[in-house]
């Protein structure tokens, strides 16, 4: 699969070789440890997960101490941001599509209603939360608190322990795991009928351009 860090590494290497070649004394080769520091992405295939582990009950303590103040004890507060959980059903979990997203007039969506992959939750939590103290959680804490968020959402039971061996199970129960499509104009390419993932680049929206007396 295409991975940004590898491309970055190639580009950085190319730039640094050029610098050495064309402008002696300027620039230096990128070091192995610098590449390792950037190479933190983990795709939805769940390869390369850190060797971390966290249970729902460990996550509960972390969540109450470090997340609940903003996201609510039950993860449903809409005070600082959209609710983390809510709006999904057991049928959504079983089927992989959030039924209410097909209806018009959904008042508030939650994180779990949209989340397609577990790694999105882990990565976002690790990089950005708690808000104002981003990056302060250990890998084990990220796994534990994510397990607890999944538990609040009804995705895993309270005995669940998230680690690299159970991650696929949790990802396979995300309520909107099959709710995304690449079959639209933002993803040009061969259509599904021709074995591709796109629709040939047909725009997502269409209509007549209005230049005068337009409806508001």
Q: Given the rule CB under 6 A, which of 22-30, 43-51, 91-99, 118-126 is the region that contacts ligand HEC? A: 118-126
CB 90 within 8 A of CB 173: no
The residue from 117, 125, 176, 199 that contacts ligand HEC (CB under 6 A) is: 125
Dihedral over alpha carbons 183, 184, 186, 192 (to 10 degrees): 40
Query: What are the two backbone dihedrals, phi and then psi, of residue 4, each rounded to the nearest 5 degrees?
Result: -55, -45
CB 113, min distance to ligand HEC, A? 9
Q: How would DSSP label each residue in 147-200?
A: HHHHHHTTSS-TT-EESTTTHHHHHTT-TTTT-----STTS-SSBGGGTSSB-S
CB 186, min distance to ligand HEC, A? 20
Question: Per-residue contact track with ligand HEC, 150 to 189, x per CB under 6 A?
Answer: ----------------------------------------
CB 211, min distance to ligand HEC, A? 37
Of 127, 126, 93, 95, which is closest to residue 112 (Cα–Cα)?
93
54 or 198: CB nearest ligand HEC: 54
66 or 139: CB nearest ligand HEC: 66
The residue from 9, 12, 70, 161 that contacts ligand HEC (CB under 6 A) is: 70
CA distance linking residue 34 with residue 17, whole number of Å: 16
CB 177, min distance to ligand HEC, A? 15
The residue from 52, 58, 92, 111 that contacts ligand HEC (CB under 6 A) is: 111
108 DSSP β-pair partners: none
The residue from 49, 52, 56, 71 that contacts ligand HEC (CB under 6 A) is: 71
Contact flag: residue 131 with ligand HEC (CB under 6 A)? yes
89 or 136: CB nearest ligand HEC: 136
CA distance linking residue 120 with residue 42, whole number of Å: 9
Dmax (CA) for the chain in angstroms is 65
Of 178, 128, 169, which is closest to residue 147 (Cα–Cα)?
169
**What is the contact surface with ligand HEC in residues (CB under 6 A)?**
66-67, 69-71, 80-82, 84, 111, 121, 124-125, 129-132, 145, 149
């Amino acid at each position: 699969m295409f991975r940004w860090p590898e491309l970055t590494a190639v580009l950085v290497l190319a730039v640094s070789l050029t610098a050495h070649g064309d402008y002696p004394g300027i620039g230096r080769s990128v070091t192995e440890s610098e590449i390792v520091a950037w190479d933190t992405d983990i795709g939805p295939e769940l390869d390369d997960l850190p060797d971390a582990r966290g249970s729902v009950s460990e996550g509960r303590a972390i969540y109450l101490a470090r997340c609940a103040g903003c996201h609510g004890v039950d993860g449903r507060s809409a005070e600082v941001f959209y609710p983390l959980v809510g709006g999904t059903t057991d049928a959504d979990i079983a089927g992989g599509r959030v039924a209410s997203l097909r209806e018009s007039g959904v008042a508030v969506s939650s994180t779990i209603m949209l989340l397609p992959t577990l790694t999105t939750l882990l990565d976002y939590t690790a990089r950005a939360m708690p808000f104002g103290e981003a990056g302060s959680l250990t890998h084990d804490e990220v796994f534990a608190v994510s397990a607890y968020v999944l538990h609040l959402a009804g995705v895993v039971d309270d005995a669940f322990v998230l680690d690299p061996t159970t991650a696929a199970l949790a990802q396979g129960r995300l309520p909107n795991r099959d709710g995304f499509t690449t079959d639209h104009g933002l993803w040009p390419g061969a259509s599904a009928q021709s074995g591709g993932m796109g629709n040939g680049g047909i725009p997502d929206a269409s209509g007549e351009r209005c230049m005068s007396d337009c409806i508001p």
